[in-house]
Structure 1
């Protein structure tokens, strides 16, 4: 790819592919990359890099949000279409594929979650398929979509939502909110607080118990978010480094890595789903 001043250097190329297209408000007096200074009252605009960092909390990574929504809609459309056209006879290939995924998820839920909650199976299915689709974007050659975007005047475009820690943290915090909600719903506020305070060493070790349990509780969303982000970010980085090599070397290395990466993207979606089921089961269990 080329910059305004010519071909990108290796470090510029890597930085470019790891930078999100961000929309937010630049504060008054901010100096932009083109040398212009933001006027009175600030301005809402697209930005990247240090400009995006100056936008603060309310900035949105448009590419991450956009691709997440597109893939979520694709998931809903496909499964809804199969559900509406399902036949009791010999299923077609698409129906067979969808039914296999649903049965796979259902077996995992039944094997781990031994309580009654009709939401757990749909939640697990959504998590597995949605994350799998987002991860699969990593198999698209790293320059294809960014090149198309650049031809449309969009300078930055990250296409793998799970390489953005904001996306993985958002999903992890949503699961964490459900853990807290169902823990309190099943055990009551007093029971939930007692579980944090009196386990595992009894009431006389309350401060130590509270420290241990809070660390374990907060580690759940952190581990969910960072495990998925770290694995996918590393995989994307390897694809980018391979893209810097000569053309013949790209084919020699990218094909084996892509084949191996199919296992990684599937495994990461599976791990996120299974841990969600486990954490929800723990929210129901009384210690």
Structure 2
């Protein structure tokens, strides 16, 4: 697909452009047909492919785990039940070692984050031309299948976690306690402006670091797959297979890091001091 009339820059640009729906200043409401149109649609445009794949994978996760939960047996478990139980035990071990408070939300939240992000990241292992080619045959101009290579998706998840951090910080410490923590820590009341600056920067850094870490690593991995796809066919297999094997570690590690940091931040929100 990178040969013929399509240049390398056009090929890369095409694979990095989302299927965007929004209002264009000149062409009105509709789907963007070029990367430039997608950029010009502005903030309120929606990346349809990101929503489609992220929600679809979320439904797959919910369906699979609920199916296993309804058919669970006390005897020798099947492969699927054994896999799900292993995941749950893995998440529970991490939660119990980090979060030392009582909150029934944390373990399910951590499990959802880990499995959902892992599924979205795993889409990066599908050859970069397969699904866009099928979409192109259906008249769909763009199709990015890895939701975590879209900063809107990773920032959305990070802001959701940030909202929970604020909610539980205020719930556990009270509004006065939360504001006092921002104003009087770590240097006391006489350094209130400096304390506020340090604490607010540290607070805002949490969602930004969560979103950018996941996005940056997955975007870079996707870019390498695209660059490999520009090479001659026989070289692609030599490079893509080792990179895909290594990338399995990356996609798992990024899901794990997002989960662990969420648990850590929620534990900090529950601390009295």
TM-score range, shorter chain: over 0.9
> Any residues of structure 2 matched to 1:236-255 within 5 Å, and which?
236-255=222-241
Q: After TM superposition, give the deviation of residue 2 of structure 1 in Å.
A: 7.1
- Residue number among 12, 15, 18 corresponding to 2:16 in the alignment: 18
Say yes or no: does 1:224 pair with 2:222.
no
Aligned to 1:93: 79
Aligned to 1:208: 194
Aligned to 1:35: none
Aligned to 1:265: 251
> Any residues of structure 2 matched to 1:81-230 within 5 Å, and which?
81-230=67-216
1:253 and 1:7 map into 2 onto residues whose CA distance is: 25
Q: Which has the higher contact order (CA 8 A, sep 6+)?
A: 2
Aligned to 2:220: 234
Q: After TM superposition, give the deviation of residue 58 of structure 1 in Å.
A: 1.7
2:2 and 2:8 map into 1 onto residues whose CA distance is: 11
Say yes or no: does 1:46 pair with 2:44.
no
1:251 and 1:56 map into 2 onto residues whose CA distance is: 38
- Residue number among 61, 64, 80 corresponding to 2:50 in the alignment: 64
CA RMSD of aligned residues (A): 1.1
Query: What CA deviation, in whole Å up to 9, does each residue of 1:63-88 have, x standing for no partner?
Result: 01100011000000100110011110
Unaligned runs of 5+ in 2: none
1:52 and 1:252 map into 2 onto residues whose CA distance is: 34
1:49 and 1:195 map into 2 onto residues whose CA distance is: 45
Partner SS for 1:200: coil
Q: After TM superposition, give the deviation of residue 54 of structure 1 in Å.
A: 2.5
Q: After TM superposition, give the deviation of residue 52 of structure 1 in Å.
A: 2.0
Q: TM-score, normalised by structure 1?
A: 0.93
Q: TM-score, normalised by structure 2?
A: 0.98
1:239 and 1:58 map into 2 onto residues whose CA distance is: 30
| Deviation larger for 78-87 or 52-61 | 52-61
- Residue number among 260, 269, 272 corresponding to 1:283 in the alignment: 269
2:88 and 2:29 map into 1 onto residues whose CA distance is: 43
Q: After TM superposition, give the deviation of residue 178 of structure 1 in Å.
A: 0.4
1:228 and 1:8 map into 2 onto residues whose CA distance is: 30
